[in-house]
Chain A
Amino acid sequence: MSTNVETDMINVYDPFTGAWQDHFEMRYFFATYSVQDAVVCFLTGISPLILTKSVMAVVIIILTNLVYGLIAGELVRTGITGTKAAAPGDEAPALTQAEQKEGSKREALLILAVMTVIFFINVTFNTIYTSSVFLMTRTYEGKAIVGNLAVMAVFYMFIRMNEAAPSAVCTLTRPWLSVFLICFGASTISSTANMLMPVELTVLFLPLIIRTGRYRWLPKYVLCVIPGLALALSFVLYVKGYFVFYTYPR
């Protein structure tokens, strides 16, 4: 990122040595998180290190915790307060206003408790390889965003779609579009998403599709998997020498 800002070019110079490159390194060609940050630095004049290590780190932590909160809310309502544990078609019990208020307060406290324990695990699940360590110490890297924010966002969508799946009509607004945007966006942040998102989609949504019989979701699942696989394939073809993108017209 610093190299892009200094040279006013995108990925033309080697970020590690500063040398000019005659072709784009495909491993980082589609990983545009650093490029996005470089553009923001260029427009605002903020130093690259301050933007990435201070500003964006805070943004990512906040976003990730928002997703944790959403997931915690769904799980608490499903398994503790019971407001979502009822089978489809069952009527929810009638509650007074005071009971509803008390229930909301309890729910909020439980969500907060879950998020507190999530935070505790994130600061104690400590080896150099875990997504928790990436979130807490390497937040400025694209793979930290993919491993924490994108993976959790897809998991949240899975929980919502799991709830909506048995109904004849899915009440969520374009859930597959949301999943596609998350997967496509993750693949353009870091090349880690090229293998992570397709595998996560398979692990979560294939059993869901098979169990609920919603086979018309299969093409949508495939569409969501395609960005990661396509970018992974492009890297493999580049490594094998099938193509190269030059940084100058030949």
Chain B
Amino acid sequence: MQGLSVFEKGTGYLEACLSRYTGSNAYGMLYILALVYILVFGNEKEKQIFLPAGVFLVLTVYNPAAPVILNRFFDVNSEYYRLFWITPVVILVPYLSVKLVALSDHRPVTAALLSAILIFSGSFIYASGIPFAENIYKMPAEMLEVSRLIHADAEVEYPKVFLEYEYNMQMRQYDPKLLLTVDREAYMNAVMYGLTEEQLNDETHPEYRLIAALVRNEEIYINDFTDALEETRTEYIVIDKASPMVSYLKDAGLSEVGSTENRYIMKYTLKEPYEFELVDYSVVY
């Protein structure tokens, strides 16, 4: 889970993780209540199916010591919550709800009560409206337009581009012919935790200077910025029209070669053109 560390939290990690996992939903609590019901009123088979697994889950996955122990062997900081997927909440709660209604003498009342409990226990995933896809690729239409404009201007088959965070995560799914300046992990870390002085001065990662200037709006000398563009072979920068860095880019010598509804596509002319080619493995194999 982003922002949670087993090393920092220790045995408190599980509670923090679980709290974020369930959010404002009450299904975890309903699952526990369902287990209690099975314990008291369930038949033999139901107890065999749900109770031993429930007990084992408490001893293992939901044991506060478990992430601490596991983290010694594997890095579970960002993935421990996936173990919660083993808990059959999605199976037990619906099954028991239907059972209670089916076996009730007052089915309409029981059904209405359980429906109300379920409705108030969760939060509808489309509460803010169903996001209909803008195109068949289910990608932002503006991103497709950005891709088209860059290729229309580029003189090479694989131009390199610096994109804002959201498009950086998605662009290559649609258009693998666009090379990206910044790796996903580096971008995420820079956005979440910022960049240190050491990283900014790191000659092996000039892209950090680009992120610092364009994403975190930090002061980077224009010469250092253009040097970073040269070293990373970045020709295009896509920037929000509302960004305060637009004039900075123009001062750095970039020119606007296209625009969409919300974004400018700025071009930097590299001192030496960069032509990316796919490796020809036929000479090897």
Contact residues of A with B, CB < 8 Å? 1-3, 5-7, 9, 12-20, 47-50, 53-54, 68, 71-72, 75-76, 78-80, 84-85, 87, 110, 113-118, 120-127, 129-133, 136-137, 143, 147, 151-152, 155, 158-159, 162-163, 192, 195-196, 199-200, 202-204, 206-208, 211, 232, 236, 248-249
Contact = CB atoms under 8 A, between A and B. Distances in A.
A16 B172 contact: yes
Interface in B138-181: 138-139, 158, 172-181
B23 A196 contact: no
Given A17-B179, A118-B91, A125-B90, A136 B45 contact: no
A147 B85 contact: yes
A109 to B, nearest CB: 9
Contacts, number: 207
A249 B99 contact: no
Contacts of A196: 82-83, 85-86
Interface in B18-38: 20-23, 25, 27
B89 interface: yes
A232 B172 contact: no
Contacts of B25: 124-127, 130
Nearest to A148: B85
A13 B172 CA distance: 12
B97 interface: yes
Identify the 3 closest CB pairs spanning chains A and B, nearest first.
A124-B122, A207-B52, A117-B94
A131 B279 CA distance: 39
B125 A133 contact: yes
Contact of A192 (B79, B122, B173): B79
Contact of B176 (A5, A71, A117, A232): A5
Contacts of B139: 49
A224 to B, nearest CB: 15
B57 interface: yes
Give the most central of B102, B158, B179, B182: most A CB within 10 Å: B102
B125 A136 contact: yes
B1 interface: yes
A3 B20 contact: no
A232 B137 CA distance: 33
A95 B97 CA distance: 28
B44 interface: yes
B74 interface: yes
B176 A163 contact: no
A79 B95 contact: yes
A20 B281 CA distance: 12
A203 B178 CA distance: 45
B103 interface: yes
Contacts of A126: 23, 25, 122-125
A75 B97 CA distance: 12
A75 B48 CA distance: 12
B122 A47 contact: no
B85 A124 contact: no
Nearest to B139: A49
Interface string B67-83: 00000011010010111
A158 B86 CA distance: 13
21 contacts: A2-B176, A6-B177, A9-B281, A14-B183, A17-B183, A53-B137, A54-B136, A71-B91, A79-B45, A114-B98, A118-B94, A125-B25, A127-B22, A130-B21, A130-B25, A155-B88, A195-B74, A199-B83, A207-B55, A208-B48, A236-B74
Contacts of A49: 137-139, 173-174
B177 to A, nearest CB: 7
B95 A114 contact: yes
